[in-house]
Amino acid sequence: MRSYTKYSRANSTGVCTNIRDTIFSYIYVDDTAEKIIEDEHMQRLRYVKQLAFAYLVYPGANHTRFEHSLGTYHVTKTIMQNIGAMEINEVAYVGLLHDIGHAAFSHISDFALERYLKKTHEEIGEEIISSSCIKDILSDAGLSFKKFVKYFKGAGPGALVTGALGSDRIDYLIRDSYYTGVAYGAIDYNRLINKIALSLGVPALYKQAITSAESLLIARYLMFSSVYYHHTVAIAGGMYGKALSNAIEHGAVEPKLLSSYNDWELVSILSSEKSSKEIMQRILSRRLFKRVYDGEIPDGLSVSDLEGALGKAGFAEDDYIIDNPSFKIKDYDLPVIADEGKHIGMLSESSPLIRTLASAMNNTNRLLIACDVRNVSKAKRVISKELRT
């Protein structure tokens, strides 16, 4: 933090730290936020890529969870100030800390946390905060840690970070769009953050901003289909999953340490461990598997059926990947209110477009299969038989 400059700005906390940000120009953090940022657990996020291996497709996508956390803090605080709500700082710090439990390479490591630890990155984040100096920093600032944890879990105004139109989603759509160089993440940001309210203690949207909410869901849909689930990004992620699982099974990676590693540290381990070395080196040199099939998975056919067929044909587990991602979204709805604050219904009831997009995402059942280019023809014959194509 020594490279940041102090900026005198009149507010309730006095002197702020001025951080130059690509998306929001300047992000002002108070003394408590600065202490949190300087903690080693936050600093680790400087070396955890926001979009994992998406840079193999979009060369500019090298931004980090650290930047995104700062952006989420900024958006959260702006929304809270616009609302004129109490407890601005508590909720803003939730925005700052919401990703602190992410493992190296972000979301594509979530499967390992869930499989081996039976925990989400949010649950691990809460554990990190509770057992580190961050808890003392919050307490020293006179904040209720119990209330902070409640908000961290998404309750009450905490949903301003994690909810349908939350600051987390607003920042990552704008930021990811910018760094990947695609136009799909464009949303009506200024109108949206000025038309979010708290109604009966939970986030709500003024009816005038329904179109702004639609722009966010459209952006989310397009970013998922074109960036987050781009077939090459998915293939690299699937190969990484194989490498990580192998290293864990062979004792080279301890699952409980996953959220203490940064990307560099985990790459170093996976690149030296015999069971994961070849796959990791292929990813780093972009010698990725090639598509065998990319489409809908037929009813009545399971991933295990396909794995069994490939196994009978002589394919080892590390010779292919099968990805069957879920696009299902449940967190797209929130109350809509009139100017006087009267509750007039839910967003999904007021917007046919949002209902259509949510239905389209929830009914998508994609199947992606890939293997080494030398075995694509053989794999296609096996898969075609199973798919009856």
Domain contains 256: no
Which tens digits make up the pLDDT trace of 14-24?
Answer: 456 899 999 99
What pLDDT score does 354 carry? 87
Domain contains 150: yes
Q: Domain tally for the chain? A: 1
CA atoms within 13 A on the CB side of 216: 26
Taking all residues of the chain, what is their mean pLDDT, rounded to a whole number?
A: 91
pLDDT at position 172 over 90? yes
Domain contains 306: no
Cα dihedral sign, 373-375-377-379? negative
CB 270 within 8 A of CB 348: no
Which tens digits make up the pLDDT trace of 187-204?
Answer: 889 999 999 999 988 899
For residue 109, the enclosing domain spans 5-229
What pLDDT score does 10 carry? 41
Domain contains 344: no
What pLDDT score does 301 carry? 86
What pLDDT score does 207 carry? 95
What pLDDT score does 325 carry? 81
What pLDDT score does 15 carry? 55
pLDDT at position 327 over 60? yes
The phi, psi pair for 83, rounded to 5°, reads -70, -30
Domain contains 96: yes
pLDDT at position 1 over 50? no
CATH number of the domain that 174 lies in? 1.10.3210.10
Structure tokens, 126: 């809460």
Domain contains 32: yes
* Mean pLDDT of the region 347-374: 88
Domain contains 262: no
Which tens digits make up the pLDDT trace of 74-131?
Answer: 999 999 999 987 788 899 999 999 999 999 999 999 999 999 999 999 999 999 999 9
Low-confidence winner among 86-90, 157-161, 225-229 (lowest mean pLDDT): 86-90
Domain contains 136: yes
Considering the entire predicted model, what is its pTM?
Answer: 0.92
Q: How far apart are CA 165 and CA 162, in angstroms?
A: 8
